[in-house]
């Protein structure tokens, strides 16, 4: 039901009429003008802002008109990278944190570089929700090429949530369906969600929906001098057909050239430098947020440590089962228990390991039981040996 709830959130965001984007603050009552940027904190009718004149301060939303421009913003562009499959929570958390904190720091804009085929729908929802809620800093998607070919599947939804979309010449966007195992209700909600995102950013919601609905045929027509995208079965006599964009039986996927042509993307650029020039941003420093790379590296190390511990446990358990020395068995069982406890800590701290923690807890309990039994047996043996020694003396 999360997708259904998120669809409703998107509709709420569409309906909001208060301040969106922030750089120049004008108080009509007093004539005062401030230059700066908003942070993410807005509550109780107030917004937290940084201004050149007063540093960090709080302004009443109803008292100020806000115009989005570059006055007061830092001469920086923050880059956050979304690459590969989006199936790790630790990476998702780091990307969302990077986007939110970067946007709150006052750059010219946040550049989200995408080369992904999507992934877990829960994480895609979180990405879209985060970006859609950032109304205090422009967020630009740069769809790049590579192993994943651009922004496909859930990654297309992330790109559509951004304020502007720039694409590399050989990149693609589309085919944004979710898992076939999802219920029809969730699939319908997902389609509406994608459509609502596109509409919010002044893109064709119908074309966005065609990226997730195989049964939808979309045609571009001229209605007088007005360009429109309509369903194939909704073409009227007065419409002049320009082009058919999607056909029944396949999900819409657009090349960079097609995406710009139909308005789903804004600009084509080969590099960051060309992107900046085409967006009219000059003399800025680029800051690539490193926490996403660190999160991936951390999880790689954690996974390696977890696997090594588990393999070591297999060896230790075999030794404990085969040894004829009770004393050695006690030492091994104690270490087995300690290693299982280490596994449990890792599994709880890093859910992406996808390990059954209850099973590990059961193994710890078994090891504890065997350890106690072995200790009691050793104590009995030691007592018996002590009695023999005493009687012999």
Strand 33-43 to 24-26 pairing:
antiparallel
The helix or strand, by DSSP H or E, that contains position 89, with its residue range, turns out to be helix 89-104
| pTM (predicted TM-score) | 0.82
Q: What is the pLDDT of residue 10?
A: 45
Q: Which residues pair with 24 in a beta bridge?
A: 35, 67
Give the start-to-end residue ranges of the domains of the chain: 2-17+73-213+251-289, 22-67, 293-388
CB-CB contact of 158 with 141 (8 Å): yes
pLDDT in tens, the chain (393 residues): 455 444 444 443 333 333 334 578 899 899 999 988 887 667 778 888 888 888 888 888 889 888 877 777 899 999 999 999 999 999 999 999 999 999 999 999 999 999 999 998 889 999 999 999 998 899 999 999 877 789 999 999 999 999 999 999 999 999 987 665 567 788 888 899 999 999 999 999 999 999 999 999 999 999 888 999 999 989 898 899 999 999 889 999 999 999 999 999 999 999 999 999 999 998 999 999 999 999 999 999 999 999 999 999 999 999 988 988 888 888 999 999 999 999 999 999 999 999 999 999 999 998 888 888 888 887 877 777 776 777 776
Pairwise CA distance, residues 186 & 271, whole Å:
37
CA distance 256 to 141: 13
Q: What's the CATH architecture for 2-17+73-213+251-289?
A: Alpha-Beta Complex (3.90)
- pLDDT at site 3: 52
For the chain, list the strands marked E by DSSP: 24-26, 33-43, 46-51, 55-60, 65-67, 76-83, 109-115, 139-143, 150-152, 164-167, 172-174, 218-223, 226-231, 240-244, 253-255, 267-268, 285-288
- Residue 142: which residues within 8 A CB-CB, separation 6 or more? 111, 112, 113, 114, 166, 167, 168, 269, 272, 275
- What's the full length of the chain, in residues? 393
What was the pLDDT predicted at 36?
87
The pLDDT of residue 209:
95
pLDDT of the residue at 181:
59
Which DSSP string do the residues of 269-303 spell out, in sequence order?
A: -SSHHHHHHHTT--S-EEEE--HHHHHHHHHHHHH
DSSP classification of residue 146: S
Instruction: Give the dihedral of Cα atoms 355, 2, 289, 149; nearest 10 deg.
Output: 90
Please report the sign of the dihedral spanned by the C-alpha atoms of residue 55, residue 105, residue 157, residue 268: positive
d(C-alpha 16, C-alpha 385), whole Å: 83
């Amino acid at each position: 039901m999360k997708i259904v709830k998120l669809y409703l959130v998107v509709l709420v965001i569409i309906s909001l009429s208060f301040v969106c984007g922030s750089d120049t603050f004008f108080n009509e009552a007093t004539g005062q003008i401030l230059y700066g940027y908003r942070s993410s904190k807005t509550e109780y009718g107030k917004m937290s802002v940084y201004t050149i004149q007063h540093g960090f301060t709080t302004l009443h939303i109803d008292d100020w008109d806000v115009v989005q421009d570059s006055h007061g913003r830092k001469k920086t562009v923050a880059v956050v990278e979304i690459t590969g499959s989006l199936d790790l929570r630790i990476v998702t958390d780091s990307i969302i944190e990077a986007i939110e904190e970067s946007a709150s720091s006052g750059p010219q804009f946040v550049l989200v570089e995408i080369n992904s085929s999507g992934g877990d729908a829960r994480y895609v929802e979180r990405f879209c929700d985060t970006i859609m809620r950032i109304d205090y800093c422009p967020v630009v998607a740069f769809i790049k090429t590579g192993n994943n070919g651009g922004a496909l599947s859930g990654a297309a939804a992330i790109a559509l949530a951004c304020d502007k979309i720039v694409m590399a010449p050989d990149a693609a966007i589309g085919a944004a369906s979710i898992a076939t195992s999802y219920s029809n209700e969730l699939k319908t909600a997902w389609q509406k969600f994608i459509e609502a995102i596109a509409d919010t950013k002044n893109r064709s919601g119908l074309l966005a929906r065609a990226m997730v609905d195989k049964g939808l045929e979309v045609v571009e027509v001229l209605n007088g001098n007005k360009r429109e995208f309509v369903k194939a079965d909704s073409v009227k006599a007065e419409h002049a057909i320009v082009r058919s964009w999607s056909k029944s039986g396949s999900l819409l996927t657009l090349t960079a050239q097609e995406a710009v042509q139909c308005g789903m993307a804004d600009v084509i650029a080969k590099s960051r430098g060309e992107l900046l020039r085409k967006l009219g941003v000059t003399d800025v420093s680029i800051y690539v947020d490193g926490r996403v790379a660190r999160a991936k590296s951390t999880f790689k190390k954690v996974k390696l440590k977890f696997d090594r511990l588990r393999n070591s446990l297999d060896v230790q358990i075999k030794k404990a089962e085969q040894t004829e020395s009770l004393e050695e068995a006690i030492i091994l069982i104690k270490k087995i228990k300690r290693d299982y406890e280490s596994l449990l800590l890792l599994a709880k701290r890093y859910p992406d390991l996808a390990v059954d923690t209850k099973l590990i807890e059961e193994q710890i309990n078994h090891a504890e039981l065997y350890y106690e039994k072995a200790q009691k047996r050793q104590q009995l043996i030691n007592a018996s040996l002590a009695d023999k020694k005493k009687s012999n003396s």
